[in-house]
Amino acid sequence: MANKIAILLGAAAVITSAGWASAKTVCYVTAADAHPYVTPANEAIDARAKELGIEVIRLSQNFDVQTGTEQMNTCIARAVDGIILWPLDPQAYIPGLARAKEAGIPSILINSPMDAAANEFIVSFTGPDVYQEGEMAADSLNAAMGGKGSVVIIAGQAGNGTTIGRVDGFVDQLAKIGSEIVVLDTVNADFDQQKALVVSRDLITRFGDQIQGVYANDDTMARGFIDAWKEARPGQPMPIVIGINGQVDAFESIRVGEMYSTIVQSPIEDGILAINTIADIIDGKEVAARLPIPLTVVTRENVDSVKPAF
């Protein structure tokens, strides 16, 4: 992991031309301390910040929105030079972002979108286009299923901007392309493999062989469904399963035929882009209001030519 971060740090100027903001402090309200995607993003921010001479005060919400809103107040009280917020809710942080702007502290969002009402209080949003990911997932599953059949959606955290975008993009795209795929049910599993295992057991009990496809909002939840299916129906053909994030485990699942596709988004690129952007802002540089990271659909056709995200 350290080597991978170092390689990307060397190419960081390609992502954005961050300046050196010496003796500056950034408050980073992260989604969690320990998570397959969030942890490498956190580490990338720490590593790049050290290169930039920026002190990072990291506060972890541990996937609790109320904790995060309180931590925004802590950031403001510390009179930091900038704030990076990983929002878990589209609206809850707006008052805190407004207070930060009033205090003269620039804020950016990383990874997860918020409602448009937040835009006047932030300078930029960096990270994946989660709605586009939903669209890409719909196209992938539709192609694999020949445009018809029945599927279940295993969504992330209820009310989370990433969850909303990935589900809405998927459903909207199916309608847009005239797909005959029917969604049997959408359940939340909080981006957690064990929770996905539990809800998948229930889905399999209720729908059984009606489940011809599965759209999981991330690869960890896709793995939860795969484990539940193998447990409940050993030896039977796996439904077509797609996920998002591009984890190593997902690549292996694609190779052995347990998953059809995943969408690669790099947490390291996610973290580097965020810290570079807030550094540019602190240095007085202009940045775009929306700064995305690359997304790549991976199937069996290209699984050996694309690198996993983590």
Instruction: Look at residue 15 and tell me whether its pLDDT is greater than 90.
Output: no
Residue 9 has pLDDT above 90, yes or no: no
Q: How high is the mean pLDDT of the chain?
A: 93
pLDDT digits (tens, 9 = 90+) for 238-250: 999 999 999 999 9
Tell me what the mean pLDDT of segment 209-237 comes to.
97
Per-residue pLDDT averaged across 71-100, rounded? 98
The top-level CATH class assigned to 130-264 is: alpha beta
Judge whether residue 13 has pLDDT over 80: no
pLDDT at 140 over 70: yes
Measured CA distances, 297 to 103, 217, 242, 267 (Å)? 42, 14, 10, 16
Contact 111, 270 (CB under 8 A): yes
Is the confidence at residue 21, as pLDDT, over 60? no
What pLDDT sits at residue 98?
98
The reported pTM is 0.89
Q: Write down the pLDDT at residue 16.
A: 36
Residue ranges matching CATH 3.40.50.2300 in the chain? 23-127+267-294, 130-264
- The fold of 23-127+267-294 is Rossmann fold (3.40.50)
